[in-house]
Amino acid sequence: MISLQKFFGKDDKFFALLEASAEEGRRSIQALTDVLARPESVENLPAFNRRKEADKRITEQINEALVNSFVTTLEREDIEVLSAFLYKIPKTVEKFVERLSLFPELVKGVDFSRHIALLDAATDQVVALVKMLRTLGSGLIGEAKKINSQLQIIEGDADKLILEILRELYSGRHEPHRVLALRDLYELLETVIDNCRDAGNAVMHVVLKNS
């Protein structure tokens, strides 16, 4: 079996593309932060669509490179899985903004600050992990595990947050249509963090296999 380290030894095309995809995900979160600061004024859907399309093009480049490269089936699967999880981050962010644009008046006064903090932290960890793929086999498995553990903690905090929010939404103090709208939005934000967790696990699978 050809190891990823040997395969990428002379050509870091895949590393560069995967890193670019991770960075697109982080940029989508940075743009989302601006929207969540003023959700009632959301208006730049084309910008989010362009960001998702940019990451889609990166994913397509990865798939094309895999077709034209000599790599084992298992390795190809590893790269495809990671690429798919990375693409889901800006894709889900775009879906969130689309839903938000349908009823911005229903989220006036909603505090998304805790979600912003979790999303920022999660995408930062994903970028760090993806960049570590360039150092496969160099004894950094401990650092990779540490970063991925932080991702798991963030995902756990997001689970606790959604339970807390749902408890409040179903308290009977909110109009039914507002409850439905906010639940949909909160669940999409949790999905973004789940995508980050999945991307982190995919990186760790590759790191452990090549350690």
- Residue-level pLDDT at 65: 74
- What range does the domain containing 36 cover? 4-209
Two structure tokens written together for 92:
């889900």
Q: How high is the pLDDT of residue 4?
A: 45
Which CATH number covers residue 75? 1.20.58.220
Identify the three-state secondary structure at position 2: coil
Side chain identity, residue 94: E
pLDDT digit of tens for each residue in the chain (211 aa)? 344 444 444 447 788 889 999 999 999 998 888 787 776 556 566 666 676 677 778 878 887 777 676 555 447 888 889 999 999 999 999 899 888 888 888 887 888 889 999 999 999 999 999 999 887 766 678 889 999 999 999 999 999 999 999 999 999 888 998 899 999 999 999 999 999 999 999 999 988 887 7
Number of domains in the chain: 1
pLDDT, residue 74, reads 46
CA distances (Å), origin 70, targets 7, 8, 73, 97, 131: 8, 11, 10, 40, 22
Spatial contact of 18 and 207, defined as CB atoms under 8 Å apart = no
pLDDT at 86: 95
Q: What is the pLDDT of residue 9?
A: 46
**What distance in Å separates the CA atoms of residue 52 and residue 47, rounded to the nearest whole number?**
9
> pTM for this one?
0.84
